[in-house]
Structure 1
Amino acid sequence: MKPFSRADRVGELIQQVVSEILTRNIRDPRLKMATITGVKMSKDLRNAKIYFAVSGGSEKVDGALLGFNSAMGYIKRVLAGELELRYMPELKFYYDKSFDYGAHIDALLKSLNAEDGKDHSPFETE
C-alpha cells in the first residue's frame, strides 16, 4: 500500500507551485503577506481547496480573498503547465483559522499563568 495517495501528492505540488507564484510573480498588495498553509484535493483530482493564512484581521482576509479571486486565471494557467493533469482542478481559496485558534489558546494559557502568579514551565528550578 502506498503511504500517500495521488491526491495528497498533487495537493503538495499545488501548494508548492502556488507558494512560488505568490513569492515571485504576483504583485497584488492584497496577497503580499499571504501564506499557503495547505491544499486538500478531492479523490478524483477535480477540486482543490487551498488554505491560506494572513495576519492583520478580517479586513486583510477579505482583501486576500478578493486578490486570490482576481489572480485565479493566472494561477490556473501556471498550474496547468506544471501539473500535467488531464483536467485542471477547480480552485477554491479558504482562510485557515487554525493560526487564530492557536493564538487564542496561547493567550488563554498566558492569562492563566498571570492570574496564578507562577511560571509553570517544565524547566522550573527550585
Structure 2
Amino acid sequence: MLTIASVEVSRDLSVAKIYFSLFDPEERKETQDALERASGFLRRKLARQMNTRSVPILRFYYDDSAERGAHMSAIIADAVASNTTDDEQPSEDDDVAGKAASSD
C-alpha cells in the first residue's frame, strides 16, 4: 500500500518533491520506478486541475521515517525492559548495604 507522506513544491512551482512510504518496504524500488513512469500521466491530470501556466516536474522520494521511528521505538522499549530487569535484581551495593543494616 502506498501512502503520500508529504509534498514540497519549489517556490517557482517548477518542481514538486513527493515523499511516499510503503506498507512493504521491500517494494520500494519497483514502486519508485512505477511512480516515475507514471509522472507524465500524473502531470497531465494535475494540469487539468491547476490554474497555472506550468505544471511542476514530479520527483519521487522514499520516506523511511516510519521505519526509523519503529526502530527507535524498539530501542527505547529494549532500554526500558533492560532498566526494569535491572531494577528488579538487587545490585552488589544493595547486598552490602542490606548485610550492614542487618548486622547493626
**Which residue does 2:79 correspond to in 1?**
112
**Which residue does 1:64 correspond to in 2?**
31
Q: Given the two structures, how large is their TM-score scaled by the length of structure 1?
A: 0.63
1:55 CA displacement: 2.2
Q: Any gaps of 5 or more consecutive residues in structure 1?
A: 1-32, 119-126
| Matched letter for residue 60 of structure 2 | F
| 1:2-41 superposed matches below 5 A | 33-41=1-9
Q: Give the secondary-structure state (helix, strand or coil) at the position aligned to 2:41.
A: helix
Q: Given the two structures, how large is their TM-score scaled by the length of structure 2?
A: 0.75
Distance (Å, rounded) in 2 between the aligned partners of 1:69 and 1:77: 14
Distance (Å, rounded) in 2 between the aligned partners of 1:44 and 1:37: 22
Q: Give the secondary-structure state (helix, strand or coil) at the position aligned to 1:45.
A: coil
- Report which of the two structures shows the higher radius of gyration computed on alpha carbons: 2
> Which whole-Å deviations, capped at 9, do the CAs of 1:10-58 have from their partners, x for residues lacking one?
xxxxxxxxxxxxxxxxxxxxxxx1110111111111011000000223x
| Matched letter for residue 37 of structure 1 | A
1:115 CA displacement: 1.2
Q: Give the secondary-structure state (helix, strand or coil) at the position aligned to 2:35.
A: helix
Q: Give the secondary-structure state (helix, strand or coil) at the position aligned to 1:117.
A: helix
**Which residue does 1:76 correspond to in 2?**
43
**Which residue does 1:53 correspond to in 2?**
21
Cα RMSD over matched residues? 1.3
| Matched letter for residue 10 of structure 2 | S
The answer to which structure has the higher helix fraction is 2
1:103 CA displacement: 0.8
How many residues are paired up?
85
The answer to which structure has the higher strand fraction is 2
**Which residue does 1:29 correspond to in 2?**
none
- Identity of paired residues, percent? 36
